[in-house]
Structure 1
Amino acid sequence: MRILVVGGGGREHAICWALKKSPKVRELYCAPGNGGIAGVAECVPIQVNQFAEIAEFAVDHAIDLVVIGPDDPLSEGIVDFLEAKQLTVFGPRQNAAIIESSKVFSKELFKKYHIPTAAYESFDNYEAALAYLHSQQIPIVIKADGLAAGKGVIIPHSLEEAEKALHDIMVAKIFGESGNQVVIEEFMTGQEMSILSFVDGNVVRPMVAAQDHKTVFDNDKGPNTGGMGTYSPLPHIDPSVIEEAIEKIIKPTAAAMVSEGRPFRGILFAGLMLTPQGPRTIEFNARFGDPEAQVVLPRLKTDLLDIFLAAINGHLGQMDIQWSDEAAVCVVIASEGYPGPYPKGLPIEGLDDVQDALVFHAGTALKDNQIVTNGGRVLGVTALGSDIADARAKAYAAVERITFPGKHSRTDIAKKALVVQP
């Protein structure tokens, strides 16, 4: 089969890497791809928002399946557009991708179908939002309604910070039109957990659980990012809690989307908080997480292409999906200054010296036969091991071998999962 993956980040590198292992894949393309993806797929210089060009390429190259990676084109209706051109596509249609592209929609869905989540109110008026803010306890969570590259959630720890965050989102428009509405919700305490699922309407096939590290610095300090590292499995979390989240949150959400006339087909990503009252929903995404994909897909033993095709053809419930017992840890290497302004074009050294690890490229480019930085999150270094400690040691050993000016990574990824032996 001829496959085209749309996207150019670490998530898409992991998807391409997984698809490349399938004996059914004859040709693999990625648009636009990046410096690392070029090692496993032919990169095509078409941007993710160039729907007509993507369709033209797919038709001209007799592409059998288009796989959509990022959230932006999903929210803008790329699946609907390509299906109208008689192309086979894996990913949710626009009316289902709204579960990620509008936090107001998703919160109202949770309320209507009694899906556990934080108490909240939504606003499209700045003065009304400000008045509500003054009546709430701090810390609090303020979310831009629309997509904001993983940075649209602010957790102020003082009223002054909260007022500034609200002003920045709704008045200064730091996230553009995504800030036309906001959700203000209670601050939940507990550990976060990510569960991604292959979904086709009412059929939900959960993947192995993972945990992300959202803030830029050690000990969960600093501003939120798109994710600084992940690990899977979660040995410190009781399996019954994971099962409760699947049965009380993920499956009911998929069923709710069907009831709303918005059946979801693709990757449904649940961001969850394990509160003292049980698992609650933080948010849902409509695609693979980044960097969750970088630890989940290396643990997948079943052919990823077979799973995609089963979901498209309505056979997902019949799939026997197998997972490795190995642990996976991914450490993100970021540019200096991220998630604020950062330099680009810096040469990356040491990639060929990495052993016992996978290096997924998130923000790189190929310039004069040299891999250079081209984003805030540059690389995701993933290692597999017999347990979290083993995988973690291998991942950090690989991180040490890679250098570029201003390189930054957290040093405590997966530390929560280290079980101290008596």
Structure 2
Amino acid sequence: MKKTIFWIVSLFVLTLMVGCNQSSNQTSSETQAGSSGQASAESDEKIDITYWYAWGDKIQENNENLVKMFNESQDRIHVTAEYQGSYDDLHAKTQAAFAAGNAPEVTQNEIASVGIFANSGMTENLTPFIEKDDVDINDFVPGLMGNSYVNDQLYALPYLRSTPILYLNKTLLEDAGLDPAGPKNWDEFKEYASALTVEGERVGMTMPVNIWFYEAFIAQSGGQMLADDGTEAAFNSPSGVAPVEFWKELANEGIIKIPTGDEAGATAKQDFANGRSAMTFSSTADLSYWLAMGEEQGFELTTSFMPANSTYGVPTGGCNLVMTSGLDPKKQEAAWELIKWMTSMEQTVYASTYTGYLPSRMSAVNSDEMQALYEEHPQFKVAVDQLEYARPRPMEDAYPEIEKIVGDEITRAIIHDEVMPEEALDAAAEKANDLLK
């Protein structure tokens, strides 16, 4: 709650600041973009900019490697890459830095937050830069572009993008006599979870209450989180109630485990790694990690679509790259050069191969390198194929708070037998509608 209050208060203060300084800061992006090349040419001094990113391990290595490669590829711009923790940490630090006047020139926005940052005046409209350099927007995978536009203007480019997929311990599936291709629908998912459960030893799946997974299950049921115009909640419909009823049923039967609290995600990860669960939902970004973990722990890993209900469906996830607003022309040019380079075909191939994140460009998907990877490790291709059923995340300013409300109410319905899912989601919808007003 403290984090949410900080978010709301920060946005209010920043909106006032942007309004007060609008006349001084709104030199047209077209003029700035057009003059940036000349400004750079007139000076041989190296331009220093900072890039902030989220997440550690293979993702951190990927970011640091790419920035090092960028710095070595030219001698006009030097980028300092700085790790900032989770997306929540990154967003909070970026807000505070922007208010203090020392924000990084380039940063990541988790895709549901692109609208919040753009509408608050913290990020730059990239449309003039795209047009100036004639960047082929059509080369970006269409299913990943939904969280790039705000008010019909392009504020962000897809970078490390993902969908949730189903990870399976193929070794345990085969021991249980199950098809390692995985369950195709919710009914089969329940059958798999039951067959894989060994009392006192293992459950079919350990799954935290995760809003991203819930968005997927709603999509699979033909529903959506918010109304099309973003003015009211839609998750308390039958399509939104069905996933919670399903989860509660499986938990009550003891064939899935739903941990709660701050360590719920870590618990799910540990259980899958140690064979205490045979399946897990996780981001495609975790694929390189799980392939290595499977080899280390002595099991074979496979992946599949998240199972369907009335249809397949998943939200996209991950982050887009954005430029902070109010930069001078030289800094703008440098920031744009980094964003353009990091989202190019070659770097997209590198990042996808290194981490498991989706390749965000069609040219990368179709490249010889990615096709060779899919041939050798078909687990990487699952998320790409699943994009056919992908959808963007809501970008309403209130959505970060709504996520927390929905998660809390789902948890309440799961852990308390007397709380019905419909009742819990109605309570969440009432609070969400107040925020959306």
TM-score of the aligned structures, taking structure 2 as reference length: 0.26
Higher relative contact order (CA 8 A, sep 6+): 2
Indicate the structure with greater strand content.
1
